Amino acid sequence: MTAATINETRDKSMPLASAAPVDINSPSPASGPPALRPLLDPAIADLLANKPDRLLSLVEDFGSPLNIVWPHILGKNLAALKTVLDAQAINHEIFYAAKVNKSQSLVHAAVESGLGIDASSLYEFRDALKAGADPARICGTGPAKTRDFLRALVEYRALISIDSMEELAGLEDLLPERGVEAPVRVTLRYRPTASQNSRFGMPADDIGKSLTRLAEQTGRFHFEGFHFHLGGYRPEARAEAVAELAPWVVAASALGLTVKMIDVGGGLPIRYVDSESYDVFLQAQDHDHYRNGIIPASFYPYGGRMDAQDWLSRFLAASCGPDATVADFLKREGITLGLEPGRCLADQTAITVFRITRVKSQADGNHILFVEGSSFSACETWFNSEFLVDPVLLPCRPHRPEDDAAFRAYIAGHSCLDEDIITNRLISFPARPQAGDLLVYANTAGYQMDLLENEFHRVPMPRRIAVNNDLTTVIADDLSGEVE
């Protein structure tokens, strides 16, 4: 997948007119932490480098923070996955895990690209229907589905991933005793040995018991296969889970049930910054690179060596039982590979733009950049971690010569919560930012921009807009289910 840093696409001959971007690629000061420049989709890199005025006027119109979504980029991410699957002729069904972002434009883009939808609430389910999804291509996941959600899934004959024997019992209660016109389509969610302490899915014993119960009720249920979803990003862990399910494929068959699909969930990783810079950053990390002196215990692998395509190749090539890879096993058994990617389909599809509202000096020589908005719109600090991607500074007016000194700051939201910190990391800027300048956080679509958003301090929800490649179309994308 192509991704360019700002530097690569920036027109170097561009005069420093109003709102010229500061080149964030200037070397970091020797004392400061190494830079973590965002990898950018070319359309976004072009906007930041060549049309900063456009961004300033969008923030003028829609306020700060502003979430901007490029739905067409989802199709590019899908194409990257399909290349791997098609090259190995793997039968597959991909469900977009809608929880990754609340944008209805992204759900639309997923449906238009031919994807199914992984919905884990009644509301995500309705969004999928509104976006025109075929209900048969929607799978309902989640560990404790509400009765209303289950009812809707049953009514539309969507695929239901049953999380527990208790949920199966609840589902049995919903169905008429004497059988139904069309059986309810279900998969059983397995809890792999590697995640025995998880509260999601069923242990092997319960898989066996559930299979028996489903085999006794073929008039009411249509068993379609197995499902699991693991934390962490190792493809080999998924291959082990598939291998653990192999005996259950046989057991199902002995009961007269056919495993049509094994759905291995999501967790395909993406890369936010280039791997070499990331390694340098991690090596050089020091307590005094953080305003609170605390290096977080763990990070998402922002500059990991593996992207979603590599992950998929490694997963398919991983060993699955004696003398077989996952790809061999799936083909031999005629099983469709189910995937539920969220983050990797949303890769590069959105940015979050904050306007700086105050620049405050600190006694230690560092600074605080207060932005209009809060850390609920870039929320990694709420998970005791840090979004390891530097924000891009776009000045709103030319810098004065006296501002041209190296500058370090952490970034805070404008609320009265002491915890409202967007970036604890002290970020180096080549010149002093000013109130009114923009800070652009790239690649926030995946669980960053809207996971925790709220109306704290009675400040209205941040706006979300969807745009096309060259920003000739701008549509509101705020309300669940409605793209205006």
Residues 368-427 close enough to bind ligand PLP by CB under 6 A:
none
Helix (H, G, I), strand (E, B) or coil at 77: helix
In terms of CB distance, is 187 or 210 closer to ligand PLP?
Answer: 187
Helix (H, G, I), strand (E, B) or coil at 190: strand
Q: Tell the smallest beta-carbon distance from residue 254 to ligand PLP (Å).
A: 28
In terms of CB distance, is 9 or 121 closer to ligand PLP?
Answer: 121
Q: Which residues contact 245 (CB under 8 A, 6 or more apart)?
A: 190, 226, 228, 262
Question: Among residues 10, 343, 367, 463, which is the contact residue for ligand PLP, using CB under 6 A?
Answer: 343
Q: Tell the smallest beta-carbon distance from residue 266 to ligand PLP (Å).
A: 2
In terms of CB distance, is 141 or 277 closer to ligand PLP?
Answer: 141
In terms of CB distance, is 28 or 103 closer to ligand PLP?
Answer: 103
> How far is residue 321's CA from residue 376's CA, in Å, rounded to a whole number?
44
201 counts as binding ligand PLP under rule CB under 6 A: no
Instruction: List residues bridging with 476 in a β-sheet.
Output: 465
One character per residue 44-83, x = contact with ligand PLP (rule: CB under 6 A): ----------------------------------------
Q: Tell the smallest beta-carbon distance from residue 110 to ligand PLP (Å).
A: 13
Question: Among residues 39, 66, 97, 243, which is the contact residue for ligand PLP, using CB under 6 A?
Answer: 97
Burial class (CB in 10 A: 0-12, 13-18, 19+), 308: buried
One character per residue 122-161, x = contact with ligand PLP (rule: CB under 6 A): -------------------x--------------------
Q: Which two tokens stand for residue 85?
A: 């699957």
Cβ(131)–Cβ(104) below 8 Å: yes
Q: Tell the smallest beta-carbon distance from residue 270 to ligand PLP (Å).
A: 9
The DSSP symbol for 80 reads H
Residues 216-245 close enough to bind ligand PLP by CB under 6 A:
229
Total binding residues toward ligand PLP, as defined by CB under 6 A: 15
Question: Among residues 37, 72, 99, 408, which is the contact residue for ligand PLP, using CB under 6 A?
Answer: 99
Question: Among residues 116, 265, 338, 391, which is the contact residue for ligand PLP, using CB under 6 A?
Answer: 265
Amino acid identity of 398? Answer: P
Question: Among residues 41, 307, 340, 453, which is the contact residue for ligand PLP, using CB under 6 A?
Answer: 340
414-434: b (≥16 Cβ within 10 Å) or e: bbeeeebbbbbbbbbbbbbbe
In terms of CB distance, is 59 or 345 closer to ligand PLP?
Answer: 345
Q: Dihedral of CA 46/52/55/57: which sign?
A: negative
- Tell me the CA end-to-end span of the chain in Å, nearest whole number: 30
Q: Tell the smallest beta-carbon distance from residue 353 to ligand PLP (Å).
A: 23
> How far is residue 219's CA from residue 34's CA, in Å, rounded to a whole number?
62
In terms of CB distance, is 185 or 343 closer to ligand PLP?
Answer: 343
Identify the H or E element spanning 253.
Answer: helix 235-254
In terms of CB distance, is 77 or 105 closer to ligand PLP?
Answer: 77
Instruction: Please report where in the chains the tokens 């000013």 appear, as a residue.
Output: 434
Burial class (CB in 10 A: 0-12, 13-18, 19+), 346: buried
Question: Among residues 52, 192, 266, 433, which is the contact residue for ligand PLP, using CB under 6 A?
Answer: 266
Phi, psi angle pair for 339, to nearest 5°: -135, 145
> How far is residue 250's CA from residue 22's CA, in Å, rounded to a whole number?
61
Q: Which residues bind ligand PLP (CB under 6 A)?
A: 97, 99-100, 118, 141, 229, 265-268, 340-344
